[in-house]
Amino acid sequence: MNVFMHTTTEPCPICLEYYHNNEISREMVMPLPKYPPTLWTGEKCCSDCNSAQTLIRLQGLTHIMNRLAVGNERMTSHRLPLELNQQIGLTSHGVMKVSGEDDFDGHITWLNEVLPYD
């Protein structure tokens, strides 16, 4: 299952806060799943923010540090062929959901609708 299956059109509130604080790039903002996980704060979040929380338990870094690592890997995985995408990095260790073949175009289309450039 890829990262964009079963998502809503609503952006993740954690991603939006990081984006509006200039802590993550626009492309790192992800949609909320239909049944979103929650952070330790009780806030609903996307699968990438949830992956960042998992990394906190494994590495002890802050959420934003881990969210940047997950976001950078997501941006890279959007651009890789699916067979490579599943074999490297956090997805290969089961920490992140894999990106599907058409996810990059779909993600950019979604971003343009919900978070247009200023």
65 lies in a domain?
yes
Question: How much is the average pLDDT of 109-118?
Answer: 88
1 lies in a domain?
no
32 lies in a domain?
yes
Label residues 68-101 b or e (16+ Cβ within 10 Å = b).
bbbbebbeebbebeeeebeeebbbeeebbbbbbe
94 lies in a domain?
yes
Structural domain boundaries enclosing 42: 7-114
Segment 22-78, tens digit of pLDDT: 999 999 999 999 999 888 889 999 999 999 999 988 888 899 999 999 999 999 888
2 lies in a domain?
no
73 lies in a domain?
yes
Q: What is the pTM of this model?
A: 0.82
53 lies in a domain?
yes
Domain count, the chain: 1
More confident residue, 22 or 116: 22
